[in-house]
Amino acid sequence: MLLDPGMDLTLRPMRYPDFYERYRAAIRNTWTVEEVDLHTDLADLARMTPQERHLINRLVAFFATGDSIVANNLVLNLYQHVNAPEARLYLSRQLFEEAVHVQFYLTLLDTYLPDPDERVKAFAAIEHIPSIRDKAEFCFRWIDSINGLRRLETADERRQFLLNLICFAACIEGLFFYGAFAYVYWFRSRGLLGGLATGTNWVFRDESMHMEFAFSVVDTVRAEEPELFDDKLGEQVTAMLEEAVAAELAFARDLCGDGMPGMSAEQMREYLEYVADQRLVRLGLPVRYGTANPFAFMELQDVQELANFFERRVSAYQVAVEGNVTFDETF
Amino acid sequence: MTQIVEADRRLAIEEAAARVIADPANSRVAARLLAEEIADEAAGHGVRTFSESVAATHAAGLVQDSLAAFVAAHAAELDALARDEADDRFEYFGLRTVYDRYLLRHPETRAVLERPQHFLLRVACGLSSSVAEAAELYGLMSTLAYLPSSPTLFNSGARRPQLSSCFLLDSPRDELEAIYDRYGQVARLSKYAGGIGISWTRVRSRGSLIRGTNGHSNGIVPWLRTLDASVAAVNQGGRRKGAACVYLETWHADVEEFLELRDNTGEDARRTHNLNLANWVPDEFMRRVEADEPWSLFDPKDVPDLTDLYGDAFDRAYRAYEEQGRYVRRIPARTLYGRMMRTLAQTGNGWMTFKDAANRTSNQTARPENVIHLSNLCTEILEVTSDAETAVCNLGSVNLAAHLRDGAGLDWDRLRGTVRTAVRFLDRTIDLGFYPTPEAEAANRRWRPIGLGVMGLADVFFALRLPFDSPRALELSTRIAEEIALAAYDTSADLAAERGRHPSYDDTRAAGGVLHPDHYAGAAGSPRWDALRAKVATTGLRNSLMIAIAPTATIASIAGCYECIEPQVSNVFKRETLSGEFLQVNRYLVADLQARGLWTQAMRDAIKRADGSVQDVPGIPDDLKTLYRTAWELPQKALIDLAAARQPYIDQSQSLNLFMASPTIGKLSSMYAYAWKSGLKTTYYLRSRPATRIAQTTVAAAPAAPEVTAAEAVACSLENPEVCEACQ
């Protein structure tokens, strides 16, 4: 079973080909930070209101450390316990992607904050800015929750692991990051910060995959050990999401202050509740809030992109392509 | 108080724009609100009428004195022409594009100084010498029946009226000074919103001896890196970044490194992230690919005449050089072809353009010294170049959708009328334009080429319910091309009678009695072509080339139609541009589903979840599924067949994108070999799709996946993983 302790090395026969396919799909989507042009954003930043600047600075400060935290949990907890080599291939790839995201946000910070002291402050936000510190502490608490576990022997230990996995997928990648992306797309909907939005599209694509991978691990464990998924686990997951929504809402209040046209803490609350419900549904749990999505501009993220190449780099290409020259295939 | 009203209106606009999927009518609602906002903004600078707007833009130093004088002299007549209610024809995305990018703005306040209709009338006046002329062109533009290309929309009537879209520069000569001179030319041309095509075929390859220093050349890559940086540095008036495409002939010894220039892996010192790449492919190469023979790569320094030859002369010279052993090395032709296909799949770049087809049929290549060495940034222009002549093209496109009669096909008379007006005004731009380099001016005055294209073909097919791959679609598309060519040539012959032939007319194939369709069996057999040929024999032509199908990315947005000859990419998609992201929904599909009572929230979610495809959405009738296939779902052979059938009537070329969701080398190599055999002169992007995608946030989540047991999973991996549904 997937959570049985050990370091399985057998790839044939492959137990979980879906994980392997996810690994291959992720490789086809390789992108590099150098492809993103952030300098076009500087003119937009110069035009912003103090309130908008505050929002952006806080957001950058959150991004500065967010992906590093996810990478740490991946190394310290996930890789150890998900016992299938094809799943570990995916996690290795995910680790690389987290590194690219860290590099992207570092580049963003260096570009947006030309003053070295400001950069230091942004990284220190995790200690000094309460709304960011609280989110980080939430993450660290869940990293630590299973850090002492070397082997998942008992059902309870496995449930503890599942809670960690679900926390990082549904609450951190699937809620904290989703909240942060929504601010970026709000700017984008007003024609601002196109460079950040381009990079965010690609980060968003990766994060979506990470979350789906984690959920498919959950699906697999559910199929193998349905008894782990008792009511208590469901209650714990719901409570955890409630806590995450509260933490992200506090962050939103800090970012939005009294609100701006089209973006306020109240709207963000609705959005977070809406997203949290989606995570619960995906996990087979009842919805908690029943709130509708308030952000029409997020509809834009759900559909195919068609860029005018004069204007923007197209992010829709794949990296690995296979096959040989022939003349008789249909097209 | 006003500020609150403005903020509310802006929010209402954004809300309406984001809800276009629920009901496409929201797009017009948003557009109308935006039109109000624009009018208020212009009023802030005292602009209400057209003549006031020209006075304001003139006072701000944005438009020519001559335009200001013309408008002042005819203020009342012109003010009566501008009709604000024509704004109602705009979809939101179109009007927003006009507002963000085209309307002239006050240099300091950045507020707009003209309304959308003022802008269109200003463009028309900039190209006219009388009110009647201005009215004629404005009438076409305000009904969105025809739009000139973006440079003309940007700059008509401006102080520096650079009206041309494309510039094609021959390869620099193989020497330092010539290369640096080209960088300067590229920068000057780029500054005024032109797209650049440039060949690099004459520059020596890596390892070639440099006599002056007794060192060895590093090949073309370092030069192209410099070009890349130079192009990125030029910002086209804040409107868009500079853009260029480099062409390389397939026998150049650096071709493999060239194909890697856009990879996002490997050594960054050998990458050019901003340049587009195109292969200038001789027939001999494709023949050797077919026959699985070796291909020889040469240093152009050793074979300097190859790039100036095509057809039999090229084949003879190429083979002779091979026999003399002058090549740098040889590789299997299929190996190189496979790499070209890989580059297309991985970057969409490395466009396949065909040197012999381009030259063989061109009106400009009657004399052996006149050779086409490359196409342009969008692969629709094919014109001769040399060191002394930089080819130029002025473009405009007819919106076919605006020529539909209610349910009864196209209004052919009106289409011909539009073409006649369009050709006259395109010809006019040649004389009125400002040329950033003397080489460009020299070429344009001698050859006077124009590029009239189309947009909205997909709208016509949807409206007439013709699937893209149906025989009737092919027949109609070909007839459209033929009608446009006949009317365009006839108008150019009239212009020649009125104002004279273009100066290099005697150097063209037309002077020898051969028109473009004559190169294609059976394409110009009708009496109408005979009559035209007889007319041209007496009048000559005012323009050496007339038809080119440009991509129309931006002007199709303004006109609210599908781009040029392209199929739709999705029934629901997002457009990313410099001014933001915008939702687009196929309004023909929505109307059909609304009529059948099927346009529900569940239906919208299902189509979004299927990425804008209707093929697997339950409840959609089969006839609609067939009609509303996307570019990813249509056989690409049909797109190539449509393009090949219209090629006789396209004397330059067409920006033909091809689409393949998951490309393989096998499928691509078959497809491009077919395109070559069909006689296409050029192809454009290969569009493919990301291997993974963003999770959808606004579609109801699909519940937890059905359980897959361990036993099923094992069975799946052992059998055929590609078709195993348990894993999809």
B492-508 per-position pLDDT tens digit: 999 999 999 999 999 99
Residues of chain A with Cβ-Cβ distance to B699 below 8 Å are 302
Query: Do residue A317 and residue B346 have CB atoms under 8 angstroms apart?
Result: yes
Q: How far is CA B695 from CA A95, A258, A268, A302, B203, in A?
A: 19, 30, 19, 7, 47
Mean predicted confidence (pLDDT) in B399-418: 94
Nearest-CA residue of chain B relative to A175?
A: B697
Query: Do residue A208 and residue B674 have CB atoms under 8 angstroms apart?
Result: no
Please say if the pLDDT value at position B583 is more than 80: no
Please say if the pLDDT value at position B703 is more than 60: no
Residues of chain A with Cβ-Cβ distance to B583 below 8 Å are 299-300, 303
Burial B474-496 (b: 16+ CB within 10 A, else e): bebbbebbbbbbbbbbbbbbbbb
Least confident of B18-27, B348-357, B377-386, B686-695: B686-695
Q: What integer pLDDT is reported at residue B381 of this predicted model?
A: 97
Q: What integer pLDDT is reported at residue A306 of this predicted model?
A: 54
Q: Are B289 and B249 in contact (CB under 8 A)?
A: no
Q: Are A72 and A136 in contact (CB under 8 A)?
A: no
Query: Do residue B345 and residue A321 have CB atoms under 8 angstroms apart?
Result: yes
What phi and psi, each to the nearest 5 degrees, are found at residue B120?
A: -65, -40
Q: What integer pLDDT is reported at residue B707 of this predicted model?
A: 37
Q: What integer pLDDT is reported at residue B106 of this predicted model?
A: 95
Please say if the pLDDT value at position B724 is more than 60: no
Q: How far is CA B36 from CA B41, B43, B99, B579, B708, in A?
A: 9, 10, 12, 19, 57
Q: Which residues of A are known catalytic residues?
A: 105
Q: For every residue of B51-64, which 3-state class applies, written as one string?
A: HHHHHHHHHCCCEC
Greater confidence (B573 vs B489) lies with B489
Residues of chain A with Cβ-Cβ distance to B691 below 8 Å are 24-29, 318-319
Greater confidence (A62 vs A302) lies with A62
Residue B4 pLDDT level (bands cut at 50, 70, 90) = low
Find the CB nearest A29 among B337, B338, B690: B690
Q: Which of B363, B376, B399, B543 is catalytic?
A: B376
Let me know if B380 is a catalytic residue: yes
State which of A264-273, B605-614, B702-711 shows the largest mean pLDDT: A264-273
Residue B318: alpha-carbon gap to chain centroid: 33
The average confidence (pLDDT) of chain A is: 91
Q: What integer pLDDT is reported at residue B211 of this predicted model?
A: 87
Nearest-CA residue of chain B relative to A303?
A: B573
CA distance A73 to chain B (A): 22
Sequence-distant (≥ 6) Cβ neighbours of residue B409 within 8 angstroms: B464
Query: Do residue A309 and residue B572 have CB atoms under 8 angstroms apart?
Result: no
User: Tokens for B706?
Assistant: 């059905």
User: Tokens for B352?
Assistant: 């396949």
Q: What integer pLDDT is reported at residue B359 of this predicted model?
A: 98
CA distance B203 to B221: 10
Q: Are B174 and B419 in contact (CB under 8 A)?
A: no
Greater confidence (A300 vs B110) lies with B110
Q: What integer pLDDT is reported at residue B609 of this predicted model?
A: 85
The average confidence (pLDDT) of chain B is: 91
B428-463 per-position pLDDT tens digit: 999 999 999 999 999 999 999 999 999 999 999 999
Residues of chain B with Cβ-Cβ distance to A291 below 8 Å are none
CA distance A121 to chain B (A): 31
Please say if the pLDDT value at position B727 is more than 70: no
Least confident of A275-284, B3-12, B462-471, B477-486: B3-12
Please say if the pLDDT value at position A230 is more than 80: yes
Residue B726 pLDDT level (bands cut at 50, 70, 90) = very low
Residue B708 pLDDT level (bands cut at 50, 70, 90) = very low
Mean predicted confidence (pLDDT) in B4-23: 82
Residue B691 pLDDT level (bands cut at 50, 70, 90) = low
Please say if the pLDDT value at position B241 is more than 70: no
Least confident of B338-352, B571-585, B613-627: B571-585
CA distance A35 to B273: 7
Find the CB nearest A308 among B553, B583, B705: B553
Query: Do residue B703 and residue A281 have CB atoms under 8 angstroms apart?
Result: yes
B630-670 per-position pLDDT tens digit: 999 999 999 999 999 999 999 999 999 999 988 999 999 99
B592 — alpha (psi -120 to 50), left (phi > 0) or beta?
Answer: alpha
Nearest-CA residue of chain A relative to B240?
A: A311
CA distance A191 to chain B (A): 4
Please say if the pLDDT value at position B712 is more than 60: no
Burial B342-351 (b: 16+ CB within 10 A, else e): bbbbbbbbbb
Residues of chain B with Cβ-Cβ distance to A185 below 8 Å are 581
Please say if the pLDDT value at position A28 is more than 60: yes
Instruction: Report the percent of chain B where pLDDT is more than 70.
Output: 92
Q: How far is CA A53 from CA A41, A46, B384, in A?
A: 12, 9, 52
Q: What integer pLDDT is reported at residue A312 of this predicted model?
A: 46
Residue B688 pLDDT level (bands cut at 50, 70, 90) = confident
Please say if the pLDDT value at position B324 is more than 60: yes
Q: What integer pLDDT is reported at residue B701 of this predicted model?
A: 59
Q: Which residues pair with B280 in a beta bridge?
A: B249, B353
A172-186 per-position pLDDT tens digit: 999 999 999 999 999
Q: What integer pLDDT is reported at residue B719 of this predicted model?
A: 29
Query: Do residue B670 and residue A330 have CB atoms under 8 angstroms apart?
Result: yes
ipTM: 0.76
Mean predicted confidence (pLDDT) in B155-170: 91
Burial B305-324 (b: 16+ CB within 10 A, else e): ebbbbbbeebbeebeebbee
Q: What integer pLDDT is reported at residue B706 of this predicted model?
A: 38
CA distance B260 to chain A (A): 12
Residues of chain B with Cβ-Cβ distance to A23 below 8 Å are none
CA distance B303 to B301: 6
Query: Do residue B694 and residue A35 have CB atoms under 8 angstroms apart?
Result: no
Residues of chain B with Cβ-Cβ distance to A186 below 8 Å are none
B339-377 per-position pLDDT tens digit: 999 999 988 899 999 999 999 999 999 999 999 999 999
CA distance B43 to B115: 9
Residues of chain A with Cβ-Cβ distance to B260 below 8 Å are none
Please say if the pLDDT value at position A24 is more than 70: yes
Q: Are B168 and B216 in contact (CB under 8 A)?
A: no
Find the CB nearest A304 among B100, B290, B570: B570
Sequence-distant (≥ 6) Cβ neighbours of residue B624 within 8 angstroms: B589, B592, B593, B614
Query: Do residue A322 and residue B693 have CB atoms under 8 angstroms apart?
Result: no
CA distance B102 to chain A (A): 15
Q: Are B516 and B364 in contact (CB under 8 A)?
A: no
Q: Are B416 and B471 in contact (CB under 8 A)?
A: no
Q: Which of B166, B378, B393, B564 is catalytic?
A: B378
Nearest-CA residue of chain B relative to A226?
A: B707
The amino acid occupying position B648 is P
Please say if the pLDDT value at position B226 is more than 70: yes
Q: What integer pLDDT is reported at residue B577 of this predicted model?
A: 63
Question: What is chain B's Cα-based Rg?
Answer: 26
Q: Are A19 and A213 in contact (CB under 8 A)?
A: yes
Please say if the pLDDT value at position A198 is more than 50: yes
Find the CB nearest A191 among B580, B611, B699: B580
Least confident of A111-125, B60-74, B132-146, B376-390: A111-125
User: Tokens for B104?
Assistant: 């002239």
B72-113 per-position pLDDT tens digit: 999 999 999 999 999 999 999 899 999 988 999 999 999 999
- Residue owning tokens 């405009």: B396
Instruction: Report the percent of chain B where pLDDT is more than 90.
Output: 77
Please say if the pLDDT value at position B715 is more than 50: no
Query: Do residue B717 and residue A13 have CB atoms under 8 angstroms apart?
Result: yes
CA distance A174 to chain B (A): 10
Query: Do residue B264 and residue A325 have CB atoms under 8 angstroms apart?
Result: no
Q: Which of B91, B380, B383, B389 is catalytic?
A: B380
